[in-house]
Amino acid sequence: MRNGSLTVVGTGHLIAGQATPEALQSIKTAKKFFYLVGDPATAYWLETLNPTAETLENSFRIGRNRMDSYLEMVERVLAPVRKGLRVTVAFYGHPGVFVFPSHEAVRRARSEGFAATMLPGISAEDCLFADLGVDPGQQGCQSFEATDFILRKRKFDARSPLILWQVGGIGVTTFRSKHLWSRAGLRLLTSVLRKTYPAEHEVIVYEAAQYPVCPPIIQPVPLSQLPKARVSIISTLYVPPREMARPDRRMLARLGLRSA
C-alpha cells in the first residue's frame, strides 16, 4: 500500500448536528481537508475544524457541464493523496448518495494503490423517513433519481412508497444558479406519474432541514398541481402508495400465517 490515503465523510443536513464522531475525527486529523456543502454556515463551521480546509464549490461554474466539474474535484482531492498526505473530503448528507466525485475518488485512489475509505452519513432519505413518519419496513420503498426514472422508464409498484430525487433539475446537465433548474422537467414528470396515479393523489415535496431553527419543508400537493408547486433543486418528491398491497393467501398458508 502506497503512502497517502483518502477518507470520504458526510456532514448530514444540519450544521454540525448530524456529523458522526467518526467523521469529525477524520476531518480534524486530516493533513489536507476538502469539503462541498450546501450552505455558508456549514462551510464556516468546517473551516474551524481544520486549518487546511478548502472548498470544492469553485469547481462549479454557471453553464459548465456538471460532470466536468465533478472530475475536476476528483483530481483536486487525489493530488495531495498522491503526494503522500492523509486526505479527508466531506460532502453534505451521505457521501455515497448522489455524489459522483466521492465514489470516483475512492475508486481511483484504490486503483492507484492508496488506502481509501467512505464513512456513512445521514442522508436526505434518512431525514425523510423521520420527518414524514415513513417506515420502509411496512410497505417497502422505491427510490430513483428523477431524470433516470423518466429516461429509463423504470418499473415500480404503485402499492409501495415512491421516492424521486432531484425533481428540480430534471434533464439538466449543466450547473445553474437558479432556485429551480427545470419547471418543464417537473411538468414532464407529472405527466409520467399521471399514467399511474389519479390527479387528486396527494404527493409531498420535501426538503430536509438545513438549520436547527428551521423546520423541514413538507409541502403536500395534489399530483395535478405539482408543476406549480414550490420546488427547488434540493427538493425530493415523496409519492405515497396508491393502495395497499393484499397478501397472497397461498403464501400465507405455506408460511403458516393467518394474516399479514
Task: Delineate the domains of the chain, giving CATH numbers in brackets.
Answer: 5-118 (3.40.1010.10), 124-239 (3.30.950.10)
Q: What is the pLDDT of residue 2?
A: 83
Q: How confident is the model at residue 175 (pLDDT cuts 50, 70, 90)?
A: confident
Any residues with CB less than 8 A from the CB of 18 and at least 6 apart, and which?
A: 11, 12, 121, 122
Q: What is the pLDDT of residue 260?
A: 57
pLDDT over 80 at 168, yes or no = yes
Q: What is the pLDDT of residue 21?
A: 95
For cell 449543466, name the residue. 174
Per-residue pLDDT tens over the stretch 99-131: 999 999 999 999 999 999 999 999 999 999 999
Q: What is the pLDDT of residue 55?
A: 97
Q: What is the pLDDT of residue 180?
A: 85
- Specify the long-range contacts of residues 193-198, CB closer than 8 Å, at least 24 apart: 193/223, 193/226, 193/239, 194/223, 194/224, 196/156, 196/158, 196/242, 197/158, 197/223, 197/239, 197/242, 198/223, 198/242
pLDDT over 60 at 1, yes or no = yes
Q: What is the pLDDT of residue 181?
A: 85
Catalytic positions, please? 66, 70, 92
Q: How confident is the model at residue 213 (pLDDT cuts 50, 70, 90)?
A: confident
Q: What is the pTM of this model?
A: 0.90
